[in-house]
Amino acid sequence: MMHLPILPILLPLLAGILLLLLRPLGLQVQRMVGFVAAFALLMLAVWLFDASLAGQRQVYALGNWPAPFGITLVFDQLAALMLLVTAILAVGALWYAIVTEIDAQGSHFHVLFQMQLFGLNGAFLTGDAFNLFVFFEVLLLASYSLLLHGGGKQRTVAGLHYVVVNLVGSTVFLFALGALYGALGTLNIADMAAKVAALPAEREGLVMAAGLLLLLVFGLKAAMFPLYLWLPAAYARTSAPVAALFAIMTKVGVYAIIRVHGTVFGVDAGNLAYFYAPWLLGLGLITLVLAALGVLAAFRLRFQVAYLVLASVAMLLIAVGLHSEAGLAAALYYLVHSTLLAGGLFLLADVIVRGRGTYADRFDPGMRLPHHALLGGLFMLAAVAALGLPPLSGFFGKLWILQAALEHPWRWAVLATVLISSALLLIALARSGSVLFYKVKDRPDAADPVLPTQIPAFGLSLTAVLWLLAAVPLLVVLAHPVAEIMQQVAAQTLDVVGYRAAVFDPAVGGK
Amino acid sequence: MDVSTINLPLAVLLPFVGAAVVAWAAHFHRVAAAWLAGITTLLALGVLYPALIAVFAGETLIQSWVWMPAIGLDFAFRLDGLGALFALMILVIGLLVILYARYYLSAKDSMGRFFAYMLTFMGSMLGVVLSENLLQLMVFWELTSLSSFMLISYWQHREDARQGARMALAITGGGGLALLAGILLLGQMVGSYNLSDVLLAGEQIRAHALYLPTLVLIAIGVFTKSAQFPFHFWLPNAMSAPTPVSAYLHSATMVKAGIFLLARFFPVLAGTPEWSWLIGTVGMITLLVGAFVALFQHDLKGLLAYSTISHLGLITLLFGLGTELAAVAALFHIINHATFKASLFMVAGIIDHETGTRDMRRINGLLKYMPHTAVLAMIAAAAMAGVPLLNGFLSKEMFFDQAVVASGESLWGQAIPVMATLAGVFSVAYSLRFIHDVFFNGEPVNLPKMPHEPPPFMRIPVDVLVVLCIAVGMLPMFTVAPLLAVAVQGTLQGVPPEYSLAIWHGFNEPLLMSFIALVGGIAVYAVRKPLFAWYESRVRGQQLRHLYDWKIDKLLQVARGVTRGFDRGSLQDMLFWVLGFTLLMGTAGFLSSAAPLLGERVLLPLDAVSLAVGATLILASLLSVVLHRERLIALVVLGAVGLVVSLAFVKFSAPDLALTQLSVEIVTIVLLMLALYFLPQYTPRTSAVWRKWRDGILAGLLGLGAAVLALAVMTRETATLADYFVTQSVPGGGGANVVNVILVDFRGFDTMGEIAVLALAGLGIFALLQQIKLYAPAEDSSGRAWALEANPFILQTFSRVLFPLMLMVAVFVFLRGHNLPGGGFIAGLIAALAIVLQNLANGIGWTAQRIRSDMHSWLAAGLLVAAGTGMVAMALGYPFLTSAHTHVHWPVVGDFELASAMFFDMGVFLVVVGATVMILVELGKLNRLDAPTPVLQGEV
CA distance B889 to B256: 95
Residues in A 428-467 with any Cβ partner in B closer than 8 A: 430-431, 434, 437-440
CA nearest to B433, candidates B510, B535, B506: B535
Using DSSP, state whether B886 is helix, strand or coil: strand
Residues in B closer than 8 angstroms to A399, CB to CB, are 71, 73, 135, 180, 184
Q: Does A60 touch chain B (CB under 8 A)?
A: yes
Give the mean pLDDT of A426-449. Answer: 83
Interchain pair A439, B162: CB under 8 A: yes
pLDDT at position B1:
58
Which residues does chain A have within 8 Å of residue B747's beta carbon, measured at their own beta carbons?
70-71, 130-131
Rg (CA), chain B: 43
Whether the per-residue pLDDT at B930 is higher than 60: the answer is no
A204 interfaces chain B, CB cutoff of 8 Å: yes
Find chain A residues with C-beta within 8 A of B575's C-beta: 164-165, 168
Q: Do A438 and B181 touch (CB under 8 A)?
A: no
Q: Which amino acid is at B677?
A: Y
- How many Cα atoms occupy the beta-carbon half-sphere of A257 within 13 Å? 36
Ordered DSSP codes for A325-389? HHHHHHHHHHHHHHHHHHHHHHHHHHHHHHHHGGGTTBSS--BPPTTHHHHHHHHHHHHHHHTT-
Coil, helix or strand at residue B62 = strand
Instruction: Spell out which residues of chain A touch residue B153, defining contact as CB-CB under 8 Å.
Output: 434, 438
Residues of B within 8 A of A326 (CB-CB) are 70
SS3 annotation, B752-770: HHHHHHHHHHHHHHHHHHH
Indicate yes or no: CB of B139 within 8 angstroms of CB of A391: yes
Interface contact B139-A434, CB threshold 8 A = no
Answer whether A477 touches B (CB < 8 Å): no
Q: Give the start-end residues of each E strand in B832-932.
A: 885-890, 894-899
Percentage above 90 pLDDT, chain B:
50
A211 touching chain B per CB within 8 A: yes
Distance CA(B546)–CA(B236), nearest Å, equals: 13
Is residue B365 scored above 90 in pLDDT?
Answer: no
- The full DSSP string for A398-460 is HHHHHHHHHTSTTHHHHHHHHHHHHHHHHHHHHHHHIIIIIS-BSS--TT--PPPSS-TTHHH
Q: Whose CA is closest to A181, among A210, A201, A215?
A: A210
The predicted pLDDT at position B937 comes to: 41
Closest partner residue to B764 among A2, A144, A179, by Cβ?
A144
User: Which residues pair with residue A128 across a beta bridge?
Assistant: A188
pLDDT value at B111 more than 50:
yes
What separation, in Å, do the N-terminal and C-terminal C-alpha atoms of chain B show?
Answer: 95
Spatial distance between the Cα atoms of B808 and B816, rounded to a whole number of angstroms: 12
Query: Does the pLDDT of residue B297 top 50, yes or no?
Result: yes
Decide if pLDDT at B345 tops 90. Answer: yes
By C-alpha distance, the chain B residue nearest A121 is B753
CA distance A414 to A42: 36
Give the pLDDT confidence score for residue A511 in this predicted structure.
34
A146, A242 contact by CB (below 8 A): yes
pLDDT score at B776 = 66
**Least CB–CB distance from B574: residue in A17, A60, A161:** A161
Chain A partners within 8 Å of B873 (Cβ): 64
A36 interfacial to chain B (CB closer than 8 Å):
no
pLDDT above 90 for A212: yes
Residue A27 one-letter amino acid: L
What would the pLDDT profile of B59-106 be if each residue is shown by its tens digit? 899 999 999 999 999 999 999 999 999 999 999 999 999 999 999 988
* Preceding peptide of B482 cis, ω within 30°: no
By CB atoms closer than 10 A (0-12, 13-18, 19+), residue A447 is: exposed
What single string gives the DSSP state of each residue in B295-337? HT--BHHHHHHHHHHHHHHHHHHHHHH--HHHHHHHHHHHHHH
Residue of B155, B159, B880, B908 to mutate, testing the A interface (most A Cβ within 10 Å of its Cβ): B880
Q: Collect all residues of chain A within an 8 Å Cβ-Cβ radius of residue B721.
A: 68-69, 185-187
What crossing angle do the helices spanning B411-439 and B509-526 adopt, rounded to 10°?
Answer: 50
Amino acid letter, B522: I
Measure A212 CA to nearest chain B CA, in Å. 6
Does the pLDDT of residue B618 top 60, yes or no? yes
pLDDT tens-digit map of B573-599:
899 999 999 999 999 999 998 888 888
Average pLDDT over residues A176-186: 94
What is the pTM for the complete model shown? 0.94
Q: Which of B574, B592, B706 lies nearest to residue A208, judging by beta carbons?
A: B592
Domain residue spans of chain B: 270-495+504-526, 536-566, 736-940
- The whole-angstrom distance between B837's CA and the closest CA on chain A is 27
Question: Closest partner residue to A233 among B135, B188, B569, by Cβ?
Answer: B569
Hey, are the CB atoms on B760 and A112 less than 8 Å from each other?
A: yes
Lowest mean pLDDT among A283-292, A330-339, B289-298, B766-775: B766-775
Cα separation, B350 vs B453, in Å, equals 8
3-state secondary structure of B64: strand
Chain A, 135 to 154: residues with Cβ < 8 Å from chain B are 135, 137-138, 141-142, 144-145, 148-151
CB contact under 8 A, A182 and B157: no
Is the separation of the CB atoms in B132 and B78 below 8 Å? yes
Confidence label for B933 from pLDDT (cuts 50, 70 and 90): very low
- Put simply, the chain A residues between 214 and 233 with a CB less than 8 A from any chain B CB are 215-216, 220, 226-227, 229-230, 232-233
B148/B546: higher pLDDT = B148
pLDDT at position B938: 40
Tens of pLDDT, residues A333-344: 999 999 999 999
Mean pLDDT for chain A overall: 93
Tell me the C-alpha distance between B194 and B78, whole Å: 10
In this complex, is the C-beta atom of A327 within 8 Å of any C-beta atom belonging to chain B? no
Task: Report the alpha-carbon angle B510-B516-B518, nearest 5.
Answer: 105
Return the pLDDT at B777.
67
Q: What is the mean pLDDT of residues B485-492?
A: 91
Inter-chain CB proximity A296 and B162 less than 8 Å: no
SS3 labels along A190-249? HHHHHHHHCCCHHHHHHHHHHHHHHHHHHHHHHCCCCCCCCHHHHHHHCCHHHHHHCHHH
The amino acid that residue B822 corresponds to is G
Contacts of A118 in chain B (CB under 8 A): 756
Q: In whole numbers, what is the pLDDT of chain B averaged over residues?
A: 88
Q: Which helix (H) or strand (E) holds A108?
A: none
The residues near A60 (Cβ < 8 Å, ≥ 6 apart) are A2, A3, A4, A5, A6, A72, A73, A74, A75, B879, B880
Task: Summarize the confidence of residues B250-271 as an average pLDDT.
Answer: 92
How far apart (Å, rounded) are the C-alpha atoms in residues A363 and A434?
A: 10
DSSP label of B241: S
Chain A environment of B879 (Cβ under 8 Å): 2-3, 6, 60-64
Contacts of A106 in chain B (CB under 8 A): 767, 770-771
Sort out which chain A residues have CB atoms less than 8 A from B857's CB and list them.
20-21
Cβ contact A212–B579 (<8 Å): no
* pLDDT at residue B409 is higher than 80: no
Q: Do B66 and A424 touch (CB under 8 A)?
A: no
